[in-house]
Amino acid sequence: MIHRDIFQGKVLIFIAEIGLNHNGSIETAKKMVEAAAKSGADAVKFQTFIPEKMNSVYTRSLAESGIEKAPDYREIDFFKKFVLSKNDYKELFSLASKLNLVPFSSPFDIESVDLLEDLNVKLYKIASSEVTNHILLKKIAATKKPVIMSTGISNDSEISMAVELLRANGTPDIVLLHCVSLYPLPPELANLLRIASLRERFGIEAGFSDHSKDSRTSEIALALGASVFEKHFKLDGLDCPDKELSLTPGGFKEYTESIRLAHKMLGSGQINFSGPEKEVARLARKSLFAARDIKKGNIISAGDLVPKRPGLGLPVYEMENIIGKTANIDIKKDFILRMEYFN
């Protein structure tokens, strides 16, 4: 499991999604890694791609009219602004590791997987957009490294095919992230029960890629079984692509702290009470007391017994077992009753 093998047994994992929010600047990206380390993150995630391999020159015209018109390089040029070099990633990954963060990325093409392999990345993220990209999935699976896969814009059969393909081709461990690919995510469309459905349907650990604006959705996700949380991250005052749904360092810190507190609130689920509550039980519960003076040799009747605090003697439910017994000592009124007082 990624918790045990990569994250030193941590029960909850928080991923600061840097994505494109570095604006293509290695210096900004470094500041983001440093800020993430101070904000409660366990990992930082990037996006690695070659713009020309991500988009067709006809992407815009196909999206707008459904047919290929004149080549249009605006989509490709847009993503070119966010490309980091191999040396950039090497610096960023080294910095993250020194700060006890796990650095990794979402690759969007075969060459980007090769780049990340050269950097000895420990795990891979599969973006929602790539769930049906079986060429990429086979390449990632062949690395035999764990995978965290977002499942936005994916139906049951598509997720099932992806999971089976990853397993069959070498992936040792998979975490499925519930994700709704809306930016930001409206609360009424969060569909958080899907987290439990993913866990039950695929028998796989689940998490939540949270595109909402606060921590409430993730707190509910936690209660539904999520243990890996991905949240977009930005620097204060920085104009960046995902600014509308990204948390600042201060916001991310509050986010992680609120979910960790919610996790403590969930407890173990055991039915029996224990710990500090035992003292409350001793003082608040009632036990059986003598309702009047009881002489040695008296046969105990209901009128001899009364429930009172504290609960240090016989539980009140023992009353039927006491009635009809014989007192073997004198018992004063309002004395707590013990089983050894009766034959």
Tens of pLDDT along 22-48?
A: 999 999 999 999 999 999 999 999 999
Rounded mean pLDDT of the chain? 96
The full set of domains in the chain, from first to last, is 2-266 (3.20.20.70), 284-341 (3.90.1210.10)
pLDDT tens-place string over residues 195-207: 999 999 999 999 9
Q: Is the pLDDT of residue 1 over 80?
A: no
Q: Tell me the per-residue pLDDT of 256-285, one tens digit each, with 9 for 90 and over.
A: 999 999 999 999 899 998 888 989 999 999
pTM value?
A: 0.89
Count other Cβ atoms within 10 Å, centred on residue 317. 9
The C-alpha angle 100, 103, 106, rounded to 5 degrees, equals 160
DSSP states along 156-224: HHHHHHHHHHHHHTT---EEEEEE---SSPPGGG--THHHHHHHHHH--EEEEEE-SSSSHHHHHHHHT
Nearest-angstrom CA–CA distance, 121 and 115: 9
